[in-house]
Amino acid sequence: MNPLYSPTAERADNRCEYCHAPELVFNDLFKVEHIVPVSHGGSDNTDNLALACRSCNKYKADFQTGTDPDTQTTTRLFHPRQDEWSQHFRYEEEIGEVQGRTPVGRATSDRLQMNRAAQIAARRLWMQLDLFP
Ligand SMILES: [Zn+2]
């Protein structure tokens, strides 16, 4: 386990800092993710670390940018330490989607594939369990 897992998970309230998935319903710990990837010079400092579910961690990979599907422009991804989640994303509870409010939110949602069918199905179950949002 990453030695910084506990403080990172506590700071994140055991939720993915990108899609807000609740760690409680998973059978493995979430990942301590480098916001700026190590391969791009990112450090192990806590201000460069975020808690990420396996899906967001997998699709973010070493990317720092994505494409805003509304404008087809390349933009940076959401930065959990510098950005306010609710400024960039909103829940669409009726359809179970996490939608971007801004170019950063839309590009991040798209890059991290936050609205794949499996994500939406899981989110609907979490809502039934009162674990989401
Ligand atoms: Zn996630």
30 Cα to the center of ligand 1, angstroms: 9
5 Cα to the center of ligand 1, angstroms: 16
Domain range summary for the chain, segments of one domain joined by +: 5-128
95 Cα to the center of ligand 1, angstroms: 17
pLDDT of 72 reads 98
Alpha helices by DSSP H, listed for 17-128, are: 54-60, 85-88, 103-111, 117-128
pLDDT of 73 reads 98
The residue behind tokens 């422009």 is 73
Sign of torsion, CA 76 77 80 83? positive
126 Cα to the center of ligand 1, angstroms: 13
pTM of the model: 0.96
73 Cα to the center of ligand 1, angstroms: 23
Q: Which burial class, exposed, middle or buried, applies to 20 when counting CB atoms under 10 A from its CB (0-12, 13-18, 19+)?
A: buried
Q: Which amino acid is at 10?
A: E
41 Cα to the center of ligand 1, angstroms: 23
pLDDT of 102 reads 98
Q: Determine the Cα–Cα distance for residues 19 and 35; give it in Å rounded to an integer.
A: 14
Sign of torsion, CA 54 30 45 2? negative
pLDDT tens series, the chain, 133 aa? 889 999 999 999 999 999 999 999 999 999 999 999 999 999 999 999 999 999 999 999 999 999 999 999 999 999 999 999 999 999 999 999 999 999 999 999 999 999 999 999 999 999 999 999 9
72 Cα to the center of ligand 1, angstroms: 23
132 Cα to the center of ligand 1, angstroms: 12
pLDDT of 1 reads 84
pLDDT of 75 reads 98
Q: What distance, in Å, lies between the first and last C-alpha atoms of the chain?
A: 27
